Amino acid sequence: GWAWRIGSSHAHGGYQNPLAAYALSSYADLKPKSATGQADWAKSLDRQLEFYRWLQSDEGAIAGGATNSWAGRYATPPAGKSTFYGMYYDEQPVYHDPPSNQWFGFQAWSMERVAEYYQQTGNAQAKAVLDKWVKWALSKTTINPDGTYQIPSTLQWSGQPDTWNASSPGSNSGLHVTVADYTNDVGVAAAYAKTLSYYAAKSGDTAAKTTAKALLDGMWTNYQDSLGIAAPENRADYNRFDDTVYIPSGWTGTMPNGDAINSSSTFESIRSFYKNDPAWSKIEAYLKGGAVPSFTYHRFWAQADIALAMGSYAELLE
């Protein structure tokens, strides 16, 4: 199944957690009781820090990841593909629609865990990665006079890292990232603010501290409503509601709600329950050529991240 595929052969920069590896290898109450568990986690911590360094672009953002199963079927990778301990660089590990490393949220989530580890330990390798990443992220962040803000949303990648050499890491001068568009997404902004808060608490970086506070104050002032904190989203991607769904030739069936499954099926046709949603008319009109619909979502993960970000800032920096 999916859990096996996503964990069996691919390592994604956004999924790493050096803080967990540190805790599981360093604290007696958390060390596994297996014969090699503690040593395995200690090795994992070292390898994760190397992985971040290997994936760090010339600008500072963290690239996709690595795989030992090219194209998901152990195919032969393109000639000249760089490697990390025998695994091939993969710009978009696991999933490609959309590319798995184009979302800035993975940057914020993953670097938050690096920053937490750095705040706890002062580790020099973590600091080196964070110094470069924070400088890049801050350079792509805009705080407006009214407190609204813009942070990166979609990233575009080119090139590849140098093949990893632990004793003499390359500069990755051929690995580049650009920001294709920006967002005021409150969940991602909260995760980003947490990263900046943990980094600032240990490093004393005033720009990181100031920006973390500005993001949290800005969303509290501008995007608060009766349900929580949320910003309207224009969902141009909802034009894919009528995308055709691949059904093998000769196959037919029925969804649990009675929707027919056949060669004419679309995303929407096998999920007809969407038509019962009070806001369906906005999507229906868009599919017929109307305006891009706007929705305001109060996602649980985002509300939790916001609360944790505010708590972390208060605990660490006030």
pLDDT digits over 108-128, tens only?
999 999 999 999 999 999 999
Residue of 293, 146, 150 lying closest to 233 (CA atoms): 293
Confidence of residue 4 (pLDDT cuts 50, 70, 90): low
- Among 46, 146, 162, 237, which one carries the catalytic annotation? 146
The pair phi, psi for residue 150, each rounded to 5°, is -135, 130
Give pLDDT tens digits for 285-314. 999 999 999 999 999 999 999 999 999 999
**DSSP secondary structure letters along 8-64:** HSEEEGGG--HHHHHHHHH-TTTS-SSSSHHHHHHHHHHHHHHHHHHHB-SSS-B--
The yes/no answer on whether domain 233-295 falls in CATH 3.30.565.10 is: no
Res 1: pLDDT: 61
Q: Which bin fits 235, alpha (ψ -120 to 50), beta or left (φ > 0)?
A: beta
Residue of 123, 142, 140 lying closest to 199 (CA atoms): 123
Q: Is the pLDDT of residue 99 over 70?
A: yes
Alpha-carbon span 144 to 190, nearest angstrom: 17
How is the chain split into domains, by residue range?
2-203, 233-295
Q: Which CATH class is domain 2-203?
A: mainly alpha
Counting Cα atoms < 13 Å in the Cβ hemisphere of 7 gives 5
Q: Find the radius of gyration of the CA atoms of the chain.
A: 22
Over residues 2-12, mean pLDDT: 74
Query: Tokens at residue 27, please?
Result: 């604290």
Confidence of residue 72 (pLDDT cuts 50, 70, 90): confident
Q: Is the pLDDT of residue 7 over 90?
A: no
Judged by DSSP in three states, 260 sits in strand
Q: Is the pLDDT of residue 48 over 80?
A: yes
- pTM of the shown model: 0.95
Res 95: pLDDT: 86
Give pLDDT tens digits for 187-206. 999 999 999 999 999 999 99
Confidence of residue 3 (pLDDT cuts 50, 70, 90): low
Alpha-carbon span 194 to 222, nearest angstrom: 19
Alpha-carbon span 199 to 316, nearest angstrom: 10
Alpha-carbon span 18 to 39, nearest angstrom: 14
| Residue 146 annotated in active site | yes
Q: How many C-beta atoms surround the C-beta of residue 264 within 10 A?
A: 10
* HEC assignment per residue over 167-230: CCCCCCCCEEEEEEEEECCHHHHHHHHHHHHHHHHHHCCHHHHHHHHHHHHHHHHHCECCCCEC
Judged by DSSP in three states, 139 sits in helix
